[in-house]
């Protein structure tokens, strides 16, 4: 077993867990369930992106994972602000 195949197996397991999280996003009854599922999905996928950069031995494409991990936080923040304002009654 080479190290590359080990990384490939780890990345496939990460994608499997991302698929399970996406099922929670699809059937989640309330909005906060879906927001938490989206956040977990982006975190899992950022880890998978780093593993893909290790497998293909290209250090350039690890930057995409960094940019996505920073930007996905903005989306979660906006949805959370919207939900809080809606509960308080401002929106």
Partner 1 sequence: MNFENFFWILQIFIAIGLIGSSIAAIRFKNLIAAVIAMAVFSLALSVEFYVLQAPDVAIAEAGVGAGLTTAMYLLAIRNTTDEEVIE
Contacting residues toward partner 1, per CB under 8 A: 4-5, 8-9, 11-12, 15-16, 18-19, 22, 25-26, 31, 34-35, 38, 41-42, 45, 48-49, 52, 55-56, 60-61, 63-64, 67-68, 71-72, 74-75, 78-79, 82, 85-86, 91
Smallest gap from Cβ 68 to partner 1, in A, equals 4
Task: Say if CB 6 and CB 51 are below 8 A apart.
Answer: no
Between CA 62 and CA 54 the distance in angstroms is 8
Smallest gap from Cβ 9 to partner 1, in A, equals 7
Smallest gap from Cβ 26 to partner 1, in A, equals 5
Contacts of residue 51, defined as CB under 8 A and 6 or more positions apart, other chains included, come to: 7, 10, 11, 14
Between CA 60 and CA 74 the distance in angstroms is 23
């Amino acid at each position: 077993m080479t190290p590359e195949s080990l990384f490939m197996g780890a990345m496939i397991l990460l994608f499997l867990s991302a698929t399970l999280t996406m099922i929670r996003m699809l059937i989640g009854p309330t909005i906060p369930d879906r927001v938490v599922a989206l956040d977990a999905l982006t975190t899992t996928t950022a880890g998978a992106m780093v593993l893909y950069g290790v497998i293909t031995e290209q250090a350039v494409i690890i930057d995409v994972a960094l940019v996505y991990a920073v930007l996905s936080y903005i989306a979660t923040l906006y949805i959370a602000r919207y939900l809080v304002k809606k509960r308080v009654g401002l929106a």
